[in-house]
Amino acid sequence: MAIVGFGTTLSGASVGAVTGIKECAVGGKSINVINYALLDEPDRSTHNLQGVITSGPITATVVFSKAVYDALVQNQKTIGGDVWTLTDVEGNVWTGQGFITDLGEIPQTVDSENNFTLEITPESLWEFTPVS
C-alpha cells in the first residue's frame, strides 16, 4: 500500500525527523515456503511447509536536505539500527527496530529540487497500529 503526501512523517529515535517525504511505501508481509522431499516415498514428491513471516522495508523518496542526509549517513555508519516510526496522513502508525539498507544517490538535475531514496529494513516485523 503506497502512502503519498507531505503529511506522512518518518522518524528514528536517534536520527530524529526525516523531513521532506514526497512518497513512501511500507512493504507487505510474506511467508517463505520450505520445500522438502522424503526420498523413501514411492513418487518422491515434494512437500511444502509454511516458513517464517517477513516484513518488507519502508521505502521513501525524500527531498534532499544536507542535515537530514548527514544524520541518516551517521546512523547507517555508526548505530546500525534504530527504532523507526512512520505515521501516514490518516494517522495509521508503523513502528519497529530497523536499519538503513539503502541511502540512495542524490541526482543533480535541472528540477527545482533534488531527491534521494531511503530504504529501512525491519529487524523483525513492523508493528502496525491502525487508526481507530
* pLDDT tens sequence across 60-96: 999 999 999 999 999 998 776 899 999 988 999 999 9
Contacts of 70 (CB under 8 A, 6+ apart): none
Tell whether the model's pLDDT for residue 104 goes beyond 50.
Answer: yes
Query: What residues does each domain of the chain span?
Result: 2-129
Rounded CA-CA distance 27/109 in Å is 28
* Residue 98 CB neighbour total at 10 angstroms: 22
CATH number corresponding to 2-129:
2.40.30.200
Give the span between the Cα atoms of 102 and 5, in whole angstroms.
21
